[in-house]
Amino acid sequence: MIIGFDAKRAFANYTGLGNYSRYVINNLSAYCPGHRYRLYAPKDTRHADLAELRRQDNITTAFPKGINRIFPSVWRTKNMVADLLRDKVQLYHGLSNELPLGLKKAGIRSVVTIHDLIFLRYPGYYKPIDRAIYIRKFKYACREADHIVTVSECTRRDVVSFFGVNPKKVSIIYQGCDASFHVPVPDTEKRRVREKYRLPDTYMLNVGTVEARKNLLLAVKALLHLDASIHLVAVGRETAYAAQIKSFVAANGLEERVHLFSGVPLSDLPAMYQSASVFVYPSFYEGFGIPVIEALYSGVPVVAAIGSCLLEAGGPHSMYVSPENDRALAETVGKILSNEALRNKMIAEGKKHTIRFDDQLLAEQMIQLYQRILER
């Protein structure tokens, strides 16, 4: 098969959607090498995270040429279809919630991945103009795609409920995490990272954009109910919400116990995870929650929030609390840290749970979906 991919996020984003795009493409290339994968992106970049994509013989890239270079958004929305036909692409996968216009007319089969519908579940987190754009793009993609992939059962239910999609048209194919989280980090590397960031001895870890929806403030408040030896390390890009965090920290004398980092390279993250005592993820709502998977692979017990798909990501042996109850979060973290048998069981069962996110399994599920669509 010749499969085309929307690679905008793969080349331009180095967190959520970008990580997903690179993960799917690299995974298919490695475990289903007998096919050809063609990436379509508005702009080339030389970021280190793209190195794996560039090494593969069965992956090629395409960027807009001529006048399309001046108007890359038009190329991606409409004019790309001509390039897909030129390259004999049989199936196109929109990896980030949208599809170009005209695929059906051109006779090109399509799949779209819908990551979440948080803008409909929690509209207050989004500007009205952004919500309007998302609704239009997502609805069109769900209507026109031959099939829809979601990364969780929770998002699958939302797609069916909000857009009236036939459930048979939607498949769940989970996302795994970067392979660097799968292997133990040497003690020398842990020491290097600890010294680089001046990490405390005992800390809760949180990884993700510092925004209101992800609810980092709950973890900060939980510190007030925990022993002073326990710290919080939070890694992620800051938004305006970070000012609330810093204000609360200052008002409650937590400056020595809260450590905020942004711009941490992927190469340092496995050591930060594997040095943590517990991972906390109190988000109000997620499409999936890859940091939870990273923590499970890293051998760190997880405490996450109820109310979205995090139970799918964390599995039955992680622990869950209300995203509005800081005392419950503190009590749960305290229980894990004071009970070695419980902590060890959570780590062991968490690693068992990661089997469902095995890279080869997910690659085979995706390629089998493509084949079924082309055989119709």
| Residues 213-268: tens digit of each pLDDT | 999 999 999 999 999 999 999 999 999 999 999 999 999 999 999 999 999 998 99
> Once rounded to an integer, what is the mean pLDDT over residues 347-373?
96
In this prediction, residue 287 carries a pLDDT of 84
CATH topology of domain 2-173: Rossmann fold (3.40.50)
> Once rounded to an integer, what is the mean pLDDT over residues 69-77?
90
> Once rounded to an integer, what is the mean pLDDT over residues 141-162?
95
Considering the chain, what percentage of its residues have pLDDT values greater than 90? 84
In this prediction, residue 53 carries a pLDDT of 82
Which pLDDT band, with edges at 50, 70 and 90, does 106 fall under?
very high
User: For 139-151, b where at least 16 C-beta lie within 10 A, e where not — what string?
Assistant: eebbebbbbbbbb
Does residue 69 register a pLDDT over 90?
no
Instruction: Give 3-state DSSP helix, strand, coil % of the chain, rounded to 5.
Output: 50, 15, 30
Q: What is the pTM of this model?
A: 0.89
Asked if 2-173 and 180-356 have one fold, the answer is yes
Query: Quick one: which of 67, 144, 162, 135 has its CA closest to 105?
Result: 144
Which pLDDT band, with edges at 50, 70 and 90, does 100 fall under?
very high
Measured between alpha carbons, how far is 312 from 168 in angstroms, rounded to an integer?
20
In this prediction, residue 49 carries a pLDDT of 75
- Average pLDDT taken over every residue of the chain: 94
The verdict on domain 180-356 having CATH code 3.40.50.720 is: no
pLDDT in tens, 280-296: 999 998 888 899 999 99
Does residue 376 register a pLDDT over 90?
no
Strand partners, 302: 279
Residue 237's contacts (CB-CB under 8 Å, 6 or more residues apart) are 15, 209, 210, 262, 263
In this prediction, residue 119 carries a pLDDT of 93
Show me where the domains of the chain are located.
Answer: 2-173, 180-356
